[in-house]
Every structure is written in C-alpha cells, then in structure tokens.
Amino acid sequence: MASVFKRTRDKGNRLASWYFAYVDADGVRRTEKGCPDKAATEAMARKAESEAELRRRGIIDAKADQYAAHAARPLSEHIDAWRESMIHQDDTPKHADQTAGRVRRLIAVLFGARPNDIDGKRMTRPQQAQAREAVSRLVVKARLSDITPDRVQAALATFRDSGRSAETCNHHRNAVRAFARWCKRTGRLREYPLEGVTGFNAREDRRHDRRTLSLDELTRLIAVAERGLDFQAMTGPARALCYRLAASTGLRYSEIGSIRPASFDWKAASVRVAASYTKNGAEAELPIPSDLAADLKLFVAALPPGSSVFPLPEKGVKMLRADLQAAGIPYKDASGLVFDFHALRCQMATLADAAGVSPRVVQKLMRHSTLELTGRYTRPRIVDIEAAASMLPSLKPSGDRPEALAMTGTDGPDRSKSDSALPARTGRDGSLSVVSWRDEPGESAIGALPQAVTPDGSRRDVSSAVEARPVGFEPTTFGFEVRDSIR
C-alpha cells in the first residue's frame, strides 16, 4: 500500500510538500513528490498504485507511457537525437546535418514559414544565421503528432510552389520519411505516420542536366589545372590528379575528399573508400590506371600520414569552373547542359562505354544497383551520335550498282569506276573507309561480293560476314564484322 509522508526537515512546515511512496509495475519501490495538500497527495498515491496494478495485470499497455512521454517532448529534441544516431552509425556529420536540416525546414514551412525566408542558397551569412534561428523557434513548437500525411504533403506543395525543383522537394520528402521511420523503430511513434505521402516527377523538371567533354577537352582541362595557381588548399598538380582520379574511377566529390595516404594499395593499384563516405554504405575498392597510380604514388609520398590527400573546398564547382574558364571550356553549353564535378563521374561511364567495356563491368565500377541507372550516366556527345549515324551503310537503291546490272544478265560490274565514287565512311580514329565490288574468279557477275578498303590501303573480304555484337549500353544489335563502328 502507498505511504504518504513529509521529509524530516519539512515537518512542522505547512507549506512544504508531501511525498508518497509506492511499488511500480516492475516491483520497484518509487518515491514521488506530491503537493502541500495531504489529501491531494494521498489521491495521487492511490492513482499511481492503481495504475501500477493495472500494468502488472496487462490491462494498461506498458508502452503507453513511453509514447506519451515522447509525444510531449519538442520535435527538435527528436531531430537532434536522430542526427546523433546517424553519426553513430558511421554517417558523416555533413550528411547528417544536411538531412536533419531538411526535416527542420519542412517542419518550419508546416508551421507557416515561407521557403524563401529559410532556404536561400544565395543568402549572406547573417541572413543564413537568422534563417536558422527562425527555423529553430518554429520547430520547438512542433510535436510528433504534427507529422501527419496531409500536413507534410501540403508543406511539400508549398516548397514546390515557391519555385523549388521537383528533385529538391523529393529530397525533403525522403528526409522526413526517414525521420518518421526512425521514430517508429525507436519506440517514439506507435505507427509510421507518413503512408501515402507522394513525391514529384523529377524527370519532367530537369534543371541541372550534365554533359561530358570530348577527350581533347578533358585532357586540356587537366593540363591547364596542373599549371594553374592554387585554389584555396588545392594546388594545381593536386587538382589535375583529382580530376584524373574522378574521371578514371567515378568517385564522388565527398569520397575523394575522404581519401588518406593509407587508402591506396600501390601493389594492386587501387583506392579504398570507407563505408561511411559511400552512398550505398558499403566499403568501396576501385582499380586505378597504372599511369595514374604511378603519379599518385609520387604525390602521396610527400604527404604526412593521416592527412587528406585532396583538401577539397566546400563547393567543388567553384574550383572546377575556374579551371574550365582557364581552359576555354564553357561550364554551360548552348543546350543548357553543365559540366560540374559530378559530371566527371558521367565522364567515366561514357569513356568506358566508348572503349567497349561490358555494361555489366561499368555497372560494377560505378557501384550502381541497376544497369538502367548506369545507362543514365552514359552521356555521348551530339557529334558522336551524328558520327555513328554517318557510319551506317546506305540502303538507297541504285540503278547503276553492280548487282543491278548483273541481275539483268546484260553487263557485268564496271571495274573502270574508281573506289572514290563509292560510299565512304569515317571511322572513330578519323580514317576513311570505302567499299568496292569485285567478282570472285570463276563466278558470274551475279556473285559480285563487297570488299572493304582499310585505312592502310589493303582490302578485306566481307563475303563471309559473321554476326558481331557491338558493345554499348544500347540493346544488342547485329551487323557485319568489318564495320567501322565496331572495333
């Protein structure tokens, strides 16, 4: 039975509070503070003892108090705890701050803030500080019960109407959904509350489409960077090696920034990235071309152990744009396509595709979950596509072609015609190939067979053409073996 008492030092003091002791549902004796009114304190003791008995009998859910306690806490405390849990799970502080910040901004909009007042990329530092304070004041008012599908969907729509891209809105949606799932998993919420919250179609709202460079432009960019002035802590040689590493391995900006001297395996010519810095949360080990590995080894040898190999600035695009301008390469081309640091990752996939690397191998190097995603990173230039179309053979009927004359039985192929009058094709290496026609000895003109003229002037028969499968991300097609576009 619960007991009510006053502490020894408070006896005789009518204004001092009474205390009561009882045994909780787990059999632990607890002491709680009551009030100066003894009768009210006795009522509090009876209530606590009664609830303890109901919990022991299973009539009251033991987790109900836990949910109620979490529901009463400010939402900002839960977001702070979520951020800490991400860091404890080997997430980077930068990513944890970015993800938690998106949830805070969404909640602030949910409570009436305007997106342009709290999420301006071009704000000055004082303005950014004011925006953070405004967000903090609004998030403190919020509780877990405020996270409902209707309110979150409305806040996302407000972001969209303010001019944010569909992809930016989807980032905020993904962040708040991840936070809600964490609350459910850690016993803060009884159920996941955001079922049915939909995103936006980012494919219909592309605002930052990337392009790739030609091999000549890429090598010029690297050469200019190597001779260039320092950009913050990045020297010219460091930037050149950084660009080469990104275009050869497909490593992301944050992954390159995490590399230390011990990350390299010079015997295997590979680089390792810790799981906390990769997008899929798995440790990555990627091969490096031998010439790049040799240059990196000399560069890293002069660095102290444990130091950052590439002390990158916060925004890589500013560094890259300075080198692009020095190399005479536009950041944004006439089509509106940009070449930022992440475009070097697209460059890697495109170069591998052009080199004939198997799509599955490229997928493995890019660490993509699907082949379709890898295909989106392959960005052939318009001139390359046009050149590929020009390599296709002509299918236009011709009345004076050797086969047409042979079919009439009145004449054979006109050997007086020079090969220059026949269709020509330009290969990827700039060489010119033409097709001539001849009769095999002992055969009639009806058996005229095509013959390919190679760049060195020799001729090759394609009479026994075999099927060859061109390598690339497009669906497999069939063609003649001696086709300039298949090498």
Please report how the helices 236-249 and 290-301 are oriented relative to each other, as an axis angle in degrees rounded to 10: 140
pLDDT at site 424:
44
**What fold does the segment set 215-380 form as a domain?**
hpI Integrase; Chain A (1.10.443)
Following CA atoms 164, 167, 169, 174 in sequence, which dihedral angle do they give, to the nearest 10 degrees? -160
* Backbone φ/ψ region at 459: left (φ over 0), alpha (ψ -120 to 50), beta: beta
Q: Average pLDDT for residues 249-253, to the nearest whole number? A: 93
> In terms of pTM, does the model score above 0.95?
no
Q: What is the pLDDT of residues 392-420, one digit of tens each?
A: 676 767 755 555 444 555 544 454 444 44
Give me the mean pLDDT over the 75-103 stretch: 92
Whole-Å CA distances, 41 to 27, 45, 166 = 21, 6, 57
User: What is the percent of the chain with per-residue pLDDT over 90, rounded to a whole number?
Assistant: 52
User: Does pLDDT of 135 surpass 70?
Assistant: yes
- pLDDT confidence bin for 482, thresholds 50/70/90: very low
Given a contact cutoff of 8 angstroms between Cβ atoms, the answer to whether 371 and 389 are in contact is no
Contacts of 436 (CB under 8 A, 6+ apart): 419, 422, 450, 451, 453, 459
* pLDDT of amino acid 392: 66
Note the pLDDT of residue 458.
54
Alpha-carbon distance of 96 to 443, in angstroms, equals 77
| Cβ-count burial 380-400 (b if 16+ within 10 Å, e if not) | bbeeeeebbeeeeeeeeeeee
What is the pLDDT of the chain when averaged over all its residues? 82
Strand bridging mode 284-287 / 424-426: unpaired
Size (the chain), residues: 487
Beta carbons of 110 and 120 less than 8 angstroms apart: no
CB-count exposure of residue 238 (10 Å: 0-12, 13-18, 19+): buried
pLDDT given for residue 429 in this prediction: 45
pLDDT in tens, 350-407: 898 888 888 888 889 889 888 888 887 876 666 666 666 666 676 767 755 555 444 5
Q: Mapping DSSP to helix (H, G, I), strand (E, B) and coil, where does residue 209 land?
A: coil
User: Looking at 115-124, 193-202, 258-267, which range is the least confident one?
Assistant: 115-124
Q: Which stretches of 5-148 are DSSP H helices? A: 38-56, 64-72, 75-88, 93-110, 115-118, 125-141
Mark residue 301 as left, alpha or beta (left: phi above 0; alpha: psi -120 to 50; beta: remaining).
alpha
- pLDDT at residue 142, as a whole number: 94
- The pLDDT assigned to 485 comes to 37
Q: Which two tokens stand for residue 15?
A: 């204004």
pLDDT over 70 at 205, yes or no:
yes
DSSP 8-class letter at 18? P
State the sign of the Cα–Cα–Cα–Cα dihedral 356, 359, 360, 362: positive
